[in-house]
Amino acid sequence: MINSRIAGTGSYLPTKILSNKVLETMVDTTDEWIFTRTGIRQRHISSSDEMTSDLAAHAAKKAIASAGINAADIDLIIVATTTPDKVFPSVATMVQQKLGISNNCPALDMQAVCSGFVYGLSTADNFIKAGANKCVLVVGADTMSKITDYTDRGNCILWGDGAGAVILQTSQEPGVISTHLHANGNYEAMLHVPRNAEGPDTIAMEGNAVFKMAVNTLDQIVDETLAANNMQKSDIDWLVPHQANIRILKATAKKLNMAMDKVVVTVDKHGNTSAASIPLALDVAVQDGRIKRGDVILMEAFGGGFTWGSALVKY
Ligand code: COA
């Protein structure tokens, strides 16, 4: 059987940092409130002419270098994003152009909001396992600041911009062990960006209700993933979760009987970067040497739709 493995990782953050202290001057909030309720201290914000495809291309270049491949080896590009530069064409085709890939490989965007990277990784894994592709670039990239209302204090404190990428390649040994995807469209109105006559509006969210749904749903996806692989909680070396709120991360770690030093936490520095958060966190922990080859990683995410999913990966 053909398997897929993560051959390289990369990430990119815009240089401008928006701290809680600066947010205190923009809305009626405090650093203490934000940190206590979310675990966030700061987030990165793209400049007005810095688009999702720019962030995605930067992260992709680093993943390509880390995998030791040439951009021309890539035979499928998947970009998970909620904040495309344009209505069309896709960010994926823009990344293809920015990377100078001229082999006519397919390129597509995946819209599953904060679960987008897990959806993209699962799709890439299945294309490889089906024998359709050998070397897939999967990017999670978002510029959430561009759809954020900076007068809404219950919401604007959460979001940040960034991109993370992986190269997924064929391998003999299992790398991506299993992926599990779900959606329930009945919850559309709890977390969404309506479109009005002028175009997309800003994020509208019932924060407290979303929080409870996220904790319960992630609880279930952990059970589902372990049961599907006949694995125990103790078999997981690292939790690389979607970075929405430190309290959600702690709840999932508790479910796994996992110490917080086995959870890759970036929410304090990045905020919620939507589809970018998992590959960003993965790259941070690979770069600083925490995650090593052979480690078993559980990635999980929950987002608008609702969508949710997990990926169990041997790095
Ligand atoms: N600063 C200070 N006070 C704030 C505030 C802010 N930035 N935002 C809200 N508050 C106030 C509220 O007005 C409310 O005041 P009240 O009690 O006088 O009415 C109080 O704090 C509690 O509000 P609540 O919304 O219940 O807070 P919370 O503990 O649920 O935290 C979130 C709010 C948004 C941080 C939290 O619900 C959350 O993280 N939800 C999940 C969101 C998420 O992850 N979404 C993306 C999923 S991918």
Q: What is the pLDDT of residues 248-267, one digit of tens each?
A: 999 999 999 999 999 999 99
Which protein residue has the closest C-alpha to ligand 1 atom 10? 154
User: Is 141 close to ligand 1, i.e. is its CB under 6 Å away?
Assistant: no
**Using CB atoms within 10 A of its CB, is residue 44 exposed (0-12), middle (13-18) or buried (19+)?**
buried
Band the pLDDT of 101: cuts 50, 70, 90: very high
Distance 154 CA to ligand 1 centre (A): 5
CB within 8 Å of 292: residues ≥ 6 apart: 315
d(CA 88, CA 7): 30
Distance 58 CA to ligand 1 centre (A): 33
- 31 pLDDT more than 80: yes
Domains of the chain, first to last = 3-171 (3.40.47.10), 176-314 (3.40.47.10)
CB within 8 Å of 120: residues ≥ 6 apart: 78, 79, 80, 110, 138, 139, 140, 275
d(CA 256, CA 52): 34
d(CA 168, CA 118): 13
Give the mean pLDDT of 54-80.
Answer: 98
d(CA 158, CA 166): 25
User: Is 29 close to ligand 1, i.e. is its CB under 6 Å away?
Assistant: yes
Which protein residue has the closest C-alpha to ligand 1 atom 14? 154
Strand order across the 307-314 sheet: 176-183, 307-314, 296-303, 238-241
DSSP state of 189: G
- Active site positions, annotated: 114, 242, 272
Please tell me whether residue 133 adopts helix, strand or coil conformation: coil
Give the mean pLDDT of 16-34.
Answer: 98
User: Is 156 close to ligand 1, i.e. is its CB under 6 Å away?
Assistant: no
- What would the pLDDT profile of 211-256 be if each residue is shown by its tens digit? 999 999 999 999 999 999 999 999 999 999 999 999 999 999 999 9
- What would the pLDDT profile of 162-197 be if each residue is shown by its tens digit? 999 999 999 999 999 999 999 999 999 999 999 888
**Using CB atoms within 10 A of its CB, is residue 57 exposed (0-12), middle (13-18) or buried (19+)?**
buried
**Using CB atoms within 10 A of its CB, is residue 232 exposed (0-12), middle (13-18) or buried (19+)?**
exposed
d(CA 125, CA 133): 9
Q: Looking at residue 199, what is its pLDDT?
A: 72
Which amino acid would we find at residue 18? L
Which protein residue has the closest C-alpha to ligand 1 atom 13? 154
To test the pocket of ligand 1, the residue of 36, 147, 149, 245 to mutate (highest count of ligand atoms within 8 Å of its CB) is 245
**Using CB atoms within 10 A of its CB, is residue 15 exposed (0-12), middle (13-18) or buried (19+)?**
exposed
User: Is 207 close to ligand 1, i.e. is its CB under 6 Å away?
Assistant: yes
User: Is 301 close to ligand 1, i.e. is its CB under 6 Å away?
Assistant: no
